[in-house]
Structure 1
């Protein structure tokens, strides 16, 4: 649904910005892993495409609020970072396919890098409500970019932190620590949200342990509703056939082993409907 939401609060969380927006209809329909698309730039902007944001938190306050966490990395997000309480935003959501939850209690390892970790906290709440065990592995380049370390420690049985510069936790990447966490916790499933290269490595680790992995991919989304086709990526179906699917509609959550990470950004020659003669890059 499309709503006009009122900004309730704004805050800084280390290197990131967080906006809490009153959006009752979206909050009511939300499930962990859903996202929203937000119009940026104001009424007379030249920035005509929306920006997609995962939802970090949902509360029943004021009829229903959603919190978005992001980094100001371009003109659209820079504009959003300047919003203040009582400003209004045009949001469409909840969008996408949420994380599937285990039918029975399971041991779940949640892996997040940078602000991709934000989407994992409502997932952790949902898993705990089902009697699951939750363990976190969170990482980033440096300490100021690790999101949610304190909250993770409150929620999880264990929380492992990694930084590439060694400023917090273990020096290295989340995938360096992941094998030991899976083994120590006897994990049944891995959930992950991170940049694509990290998701590729997380999937490889999970496959080594022969456990399922659910990944929320980070792809550019201009519309969020499956029209613009900017977020297509090659996915192997249950029938073994590769299809180009839209991350915003068929995802953004996929089974990790079905994503052809090495071919993201291309149309593989063996994809259904692809032109012959090799791999074609998409713009």
Structure 2
């Protein structure tokens, strides 16, 4: 789990990135604590706003020397629209880093990274870490349309093994990221698949990875109320190392999970065998 700070972060730059905006923030003390997969929570609307809940974003980059972090923001509703009205020089109330990051790779390995839309944002720092340790990486980046892709050029700077998919066929392979996934795992001999994107995509990626004998690590995009583990609105059914299924919080135990332990088909339900469920107690 991360050790977050709450800081007033200054907006250094806001740059368009396809359908998204990339925010560069100076956040003293934060960047050195960030690991790939951590996220940030940003207050929106100012001190007098009725929007009480922070908005959460995967951390795209962190530079301890410059004391900066960057976030990729997609306009989704009132809160993100308010944030997108920010200007260079403004300050935002930032809490970061939050959550549990991807497992840290040890030594050289071969990994495939799969991103859906701007869900690819937290994947690049980990890919750079793996190549820096003598490993090899590949990417599959997908979106509904070409303008909703993120990071294709960054991926191509790291490896020639980059596939692009769009559901409307506007660029790359027509279809979803899972279409070329099995072949891509085999082509590079991936030991692990790291993914971030919509839940149904993560479910499908995990199934394909398992069928190909690769580990699956997923950063879930679950709606979060508080981002700190208090409100329990982002729980998922996950099988623990002891074999017992429990609800765990995406914002604390996640957002990064071993995909094989997430009970994808049971998300949104209370499985009868879940620890603490009424039926589970009767079974004991």
Structures share fold, TM-score greater than 0.5: yes
Asked if 2 retains the 8 angstrom alpha-carbon contact of 1:19 and 1:67, the reply is: yes
1:90 matched residue in structure 2: 93
User: Post-superposition, which runs of at least 4 consecutive aligned residues in structure 1 deviate over 2 A?
Assistant: none
Q: Where does 1:130-141 land on structure 2 (aligned, <5 Å)? A: 130-141=133-144
1:221 matched to 2:241? The reply is no
The alignment's C-alpha RMSD in Å is 1.1
1:55 matched to 2:59? The reply is yes
2:203 matched residue in structure 1: 200
Asked if 2 retains the 8 angstrom alpha-carbon contact of 1:128 and 1:134, the reply is: yes
Asked if 1 retains the 8 angstrom alpha-carbon contact of 2:32 and 2:63, the reply is: no
Cα distance, 1:229 vs structure 2: 0.7
What SS class does the counterpart of residue 207 from structure 2 fall into? Answer: helix
Q: Where does 1:107-186 land on structure 2 (aligned, <5 Å)? A: 107-186=110-189
Cα distance, 1:48 vs structure 2: 0.3
The one of 77, 88, 93 equivalent to 2:80 is: 77
2:30 matched residue in structure 1: 26
Cα distance, 1:100 vs structure 2: 1.0
2:69 matched residue in structure 1: 66
Cα distance, 1:190 vs structure 2: 0.5
Unmatched tracts of structure 1, length 5 or more: 278-283
- Separation (CA, whole Å) in 1 of partners of 2:138 and 2:160: 6
Unmatched tracts of structure 2, length 5 or more: none
Cα deviations across residues 115-138 of structure 1 (Å, max 9, x unaligned)?
Answer: 001111111111112111010000
What SS class does the counterpart of residue 49 from structure 2 fall into? Answer: coil
Cα deviations across residues 138-178 of structure 1 (Å, max 9, x unaligned)?
Answer: 00011111111111111124100001111111111100111
Asked if 2 retains the 8 angstrom alpha-carbon contact of 1:134 and 1:157, the reply is: no
